[in-house]
Chains A and B, each alone.
Chain A
Amino acid sequence: MTHIKTIAKPILKQTAHTGGCGECQTSCQSACKTSCTVGNQVCEK
């Protein structure tokens, strides 16, 4: 492709099968305590 470079794969559907274990860090515990987002969290798996 010359017009498009995909920088993030379509992960939403995929993690519907693999996710949900709950071992990841709680968002507001990291550095924030006010305006957390989930997008910057990492998966533990």
Chain B
Amino acid sequence: MKSKVHLFTQLNKHFALDVGSGAIHLVTPPAFRLLSLIIAAGETSLSQTIPPRILQEVITINGIHEAWNELYALYNEGMLFSPDNSENLELPTKTPLKALCVHIAHDCNLRCGYCFADTGSFSSERGCMDIHTAKKAVDFLIERSGNRRNLEIDFFGGEPLLAFDVIKQAVEYARKLEKIHNKQFRFTLTTNGLLLNDDVISHINSEMKNVVLSLDGRNEVNDTHRTTIGGKGSYDVIVPKFQKVASTRKGDYFIRGTFTSKNLDFTEDILHIADLGFNNISIEPVVLEKGHDLEIREEHLPEIFAEYDRLTEILAARDDINFFHFNIDLEGGPCVYKRLRGCGAGGEYAAVTPSGSLYPCHQFAGRAEYKMGSVLDGSFTPNTELTVNHIKIRKGCSDCWAKYFCGGGCAAANLNINEDINIPYHIGCEMQKMRIECAIALKASTI
């Protein structure tokens, strides 16, 4: 890779991220200047004293030798310009299944303008999963999970609450089996909220570890895209219901929204959601096929970056908003194996459609060439193209400073945009890298 140290400035602070070791340093302007010059000169190591060519440029800066000595000490400790060989680690070849996205309904009671699932149908017949198939999905996950104890099921759609009864029965069935097989199920539900009522909320609160509630933000932003079949906005119906979920809930929840090219000022949506009383918020860039009216294009990036800067500043000053994409665990975080393999789609993670067919993940559902089997007959061939070391196989990832934070991006987005799972979606990468910088700076502001 070009440079083994990535430099950036965020929240008026300077950072140096050592790619090979994973160490991140907050540095003073003199140390930052030295590192910038070293990198610009193409150096990949440090000498004991400042090289003469570089010294000429910094000689007047106070404390420059002291800064150099400290950088040199870190270099010797393997925390700057350290060898980057983690990506060559051998990954365990056996990857038992541990998570299923269960598409309870390939149908929806909304008709959102940007839906990746073709307004819930996944480009095929509309319909819901029956209880037989849902139980088979639970059995299948248990059978394929080897010695993994924690198993996840996300009830997804379309709109899963169109078949709430199936969800209830599937949960009950899985709970019975978890004791017998020494497993622990974690259920989540992703819903647009229209069908939430007291009964459903009480079930969610007692059984679901996490619930993802879809809302895009300001009334007019939400109602532009998230409309009912009859063309009416959904905001007024869902907001009070979501408030009820959040206020009665002990488990996790997220308000999850989408921003498109039409609301690049999405910080306003995040603040609006916070004003409604929600703390856990995720607002994400839309994923669409090329040429769509709402898609995020290259020319939008400067505005999006400025918006992420603004959001970072706002979040640094308040502690009541947990913004999903700015979460980062600097003390522990995932192990290097997870960082190399990323999302796990096609191996430890799969999606089941209402007819029982298995796909690498929810975004692949319905793409016949990616079908991996069926829960009904138990057939399953993990997708070996997807379960390999992402960083090594995806074009450009090995040279990217963000690789151990990103995990090689999203194969489905790559396929949508570039028609190749291994060619990263460039605009997604740029936003991803920006968010990682913001996340690090925010975390540093709390240390």
Complex CA gap A23/B406 in Å reads: 19
Residues of B within 8 A of A41 (CB): 329, 333-334, 338
Complex CA gap A6/B338 in Å reads: 23
Asked if A3 contacts B30 (CB within 8 A), the reply is yes
Residues of B within 8 A of A35 (CB): 284-285, 287, 325, 410, 413, 428, 431-432
Complex CA gap A5/B16 in Å reads: 10
Residues of B within 8 A of A7 (CB): 24-26, 330, 440, 443-444, 447
Complex CA gap A17/B405 in Å reads: 19
How far does the Cβ of A1 sit from chain B's closest Cβ, in whole Å?
A: 5
How far does the Cβ of B304 sit from chain A's closest Cβ, in whole Å?
A: 13
Asked if A10 contacts B82 (CB within 8 A), the reply is yes
Per-residue B-contact encoding for A19-45, CB less than 8 Å = 1, 0 else: 111111111111111111111111110
Asked if B26 contacts A5 (CB within 8 A), the reply is yes
Which of A16, A32, A39, A43 lies in contact with B284, CB distance below 8 A? A32
Centre residue among B21, B82, B116, B439 by max chain A CB count within 10 A: B21
Asked if A40 contacts B149 (CB within 8 A), the reply is no
Q: Is B368 at the interface (CB under 8 A from chain A)?
A: no
Complex CA gap A7/B432 in Å reads: 20
Asked if B66 contacts A2 (CB within 8 A), the reply is yes
Centre residue among B74, B86, B330, B335 by max chain A CB count within 10 A: B335
Q: Is B63 at the interface (CB under 8 A from chain A)?
A: yes
Asked if B410 contacts A13 (CB within 8 A), the reply is no
How far does the Cβ of B98 sit from chain A's closest Cβ, in whole Å?
A: 6
Q: Which of B2-10, B42-50, B343-351 is the interface stretch?
A: B343-351
Which of B23, B152, B324 lies in contact with A26, CB distance below 8 A? B152
| Closest A residue by C-beta to B149 | A23
Which of B70, B86, B282, B325 lies in contact with A3, CB distance below 8 A? B70
How far does the Cβ of B438 sit from chain A's closest Cβ, in whole Å?
A: 12
Complex CA gap A33/B404 in Å reads: 20
Q: Is B381 at the interface (CB under 8 A from chain A)?
A: no
Centre residue among A6, A28, A32, A44 by max chain B CB count within 10 A: A28
Which of A3, A13, A25, A43 lies in contact with B332, CB distance below 8 A? A43
What's the interface size class on A, roughly?
35 or more
Given contact pairs A2-B70, A12-B21, A12-B336, A29 touches B31 in the complex (Cβ within 8 A): no
Complex CA gap A3/B66 in Å reads: 8
Q: Is B78 at the interface (CB under 8 A from chain A)?
A: yes
Asked if B348 contacts A4 (CB within 8 A), the reply is no
Given contact pairs A38-B342, A39-B439, A11 touches B332 in the complex (Cβ within 8 A): yes
How far does the Cβ of B258 sit from chain A's closest Cβ, in whole Å?
A: 8
Residues of A within 8 A of B78 (CB): 10
Residues of A within 8 A of B432 (CB): 35, 37
Asked if B28 contacts A24 (CB within 8 A), the reply is no
Given contact pairs A8-B330, A23-B149, A39-B439, A33 touches B190 in the complex (Cβ within 8 A): yes
Given contact pairs A3-B66, A31-B212, A35-B413, A18 touches B333 in the complex (Cβ within 8 A): no
Given contact pairs A11-B22, A35-B428, A42 touches B332 in the complex (Cβ within 8 A): yes
Q: Is B331 at the interface (CB under 8 A from chain A)?
A: yes
Centre residue among B26, B86, B284, B333 by max chain A CB count within 10 A: B333
How far does the Cβ of B77 sit from chain A's closest Cβ, in whole Å?
A: 8
Q: Which of B89-97, B171-179, B197-205, B262-270 is the interface stretch?
A: B89-97
Asked if B99 contacts A29 (CB within 8 A), the reply is yes
Asked if B407 contacts A26 (CB within 8 A), the reply is no
Residues of A within 8 A of B372 (CB): none
How far does the Cβ of B190 sit from chain A's closest Cβ, in whole Å?
A: 7
Residues of A within 8 A of B294 (CB): none
| Closest A residue by C-beta to B350 | A26
Q: Is B339 at the interface (CB under 8 A from chain A)?
A: yes
Which of A23, A33, A39 lies in contact with B436, CB distance below 8 A? A39
The 5 closest A-B pairs by CB, nearest first: A19-B335, A10-B21, A39-B405, A38-B407, A31-B254
**Can you list 24 A-B pairs, Cβ within 8 angstroms, ordered by A?**
A7-B440, A10-B18, A10-B21, A10-B82, A12-B22, A16-B86, A19-B337, A22-B98, A22-B348, A25-B152, A26-B348, A27-B407, A28-B343, A33-B362, A34-B410, A34-B413, A35-B413, A37-B432, A37-B435, A38-B338, A39-B407, A40-B324, A40-B328, A43-B335
Q: Beyond A1-B73, A26-B343, A32-B325: 19 further Cβ-contacts under 8 Å?
A: A4-B31, A6-B25, A7-B26, A10-B18, A19-B335, A24-B338, A27-B342, A28-B101, A30-B188, A33-B256, A35-B413, A35-B431, A37-B405, A37-B406, A37-B436, A38-B339, A40-B327, A41-B333, A43-B332
